[in-house]
Amino acid sequence: MMHSRAPDNAVIMPGMTDAVVDVRELRKTFSVTEREEGLAATLRSFVKRHRKDVNAVAGITFRIEPGEVVGFLGPNGAGKTTTLKMLSGLLHPSAGEASVLGYVPWRRENAYLGRMTLLMGNRTQLVWDIPAADSFRVLQEIYRIPEGQFRSTVNELTELLELQELVHKPVRNLSLGERMKVEFAAGLIHSPSVAFLDEPTIGLDISMQVRIRRFVAEYNRRSGATILLTSHYMDDVVALCKRVIVIHRGTLLYDGPLADLAERMAPYKVITATLHDGAASSTDLDAYGTVVSREEGRVTLRVDRQLAPERTARLVNDLGSRLADISVEDPPIEEVIDRVFTSEQTTVSA
């Protein structure tokens, strides 16, 4: 049975809490070379290089409690992956502190590495030329998993991910989706207490995305593992995360419930009215809100959040029997996130 192990010789840093992930003012600055285009600039760069500091992560603070599944959102280059790499121990930060399971990740102590995993959707950790089942055996020995626990975990992962047909084929013969499922099994074979998932469904078809989402939710439910997830597919986030952390240009913009994100970041509701007579294109609804789209028989309005109940009532009353259907919803999460990224808002914590 998958299980999270209790901390053994973890070192709790002074002032840090018993949160599974505790991050304080974490920063990462990369020094990158820059040059202008053209032959002259290229030749000059042989002699002298211009370096520029890029703040990939510019001082973020958050904590994650045991068993939480948190969505880590941001546009490309926001600093999400850099943060995950620091928390998993791949990168040393430029400043700040972090503790995961009581360990300082970048010390990369074996006791820590044995209790966490970093899964990157577009990267492979399996041996390409041999069946995954053989790679699992190697991982069993590396993580020193007792035979009984290994068999039980493999059986459980095989059942959850439907791997029966896949684990005995060389990894190079698997499709992208099949490989991703097997990668998940390899990444979780040591029953980590913390999983950092970086774009776990990238490039997968809709059906496979849904399966992976179900698996992550089930894994979290069964094992109680803490999960920090980045994804550009908002369906992943909606399906898995009650809480989201939004970063942009290395700075934390929002940390709180997903349900509150729309309320705080998008101060409007979307009213969709469907008319019986298909006369949506000719009906003047501008008085009820901002008309966003008109399709045959259907009008979508954007209405101030506070005014939404009153405008909806008026619409129902004024349109009377012409109204076939009406819905009032928060704007799509993609739209909310886009507003967050395009506006220069300061940190908001729920």
Residue with tokens 């010390």: 107
Which residue's CB is nearer to other proteins, number 34 or number 295?
A: 34
Identify which range of 44-52, 119-127, 159-167, 338-346 contacts other proteins by CB under 8 A: 119-127
The footprint of other proteins on residues 226-245 (CB under 8 A) is none
Of 3, 137, 214, 232, the residue at the interface with other proteins (CB under 8 A) is: 137
Please calculate the CA angle 192-96-21 and round it to the nearest 5 degrees.
25
Torsion angle of alpha carbons 78, 196, 114, 125, nearest 10°? -90
Which residue's CB is nearer to other proteins, number 110 or number 175?
A: 110
Q: How far apart are CA 117 and CA 23, in angstroms?
A: 18
108 binds other proteins (CB under 8 A): yes
Identify which range of 116-124, 237-245, 258-266, 280-288 contacts other proteins by CB under 8 A: 116-124
* Binding-residue pattern over the window 9 to 48 for other proteins, x denoting contact by CB under 8 A: ---------------------x------------------
The footprint of other proteins on residues 80-99 (CB under 8 A) is 85, 88-92
DSSP code at position 144: T
Identify which range of 18-26, 59-67, 121-129, 202-210 contacts other proteins by CB under 8 A: 121-129
- Within 10 A of 150 (CB to CB), how many other CB atoms are there? 20
125 binds other proteins (CB under 8 A): yes
Residue with tokens 């790499």: 85
Identify which range of 16-24, 38-46, 106-114, 292-300 contacts other proteins by CB under 8 A: 106-114
Identify which range of 118-126, 203-211, 285-293, 323-331 contacts other proteins by CB under 8 A: 118-126
The footprint of other proteins on residues 141-200 (CB under 8 A) is 141-143, 170
Which residue's CB is nearer to other proteins, number 92 or number 242?
A: 92
- Residue 39 CB contacts under 8 Å (≥ 6 apart), including other chains: none
Q: Where are the alpha helices (DSSP H) in the chain?
A: 39-47, 80-88, 110-113, 132-142, 147-161, 176-188, 206-223, 234-240, 258-265, 308-319, 333-342
CB 246 within 8 A of CB 252: yes
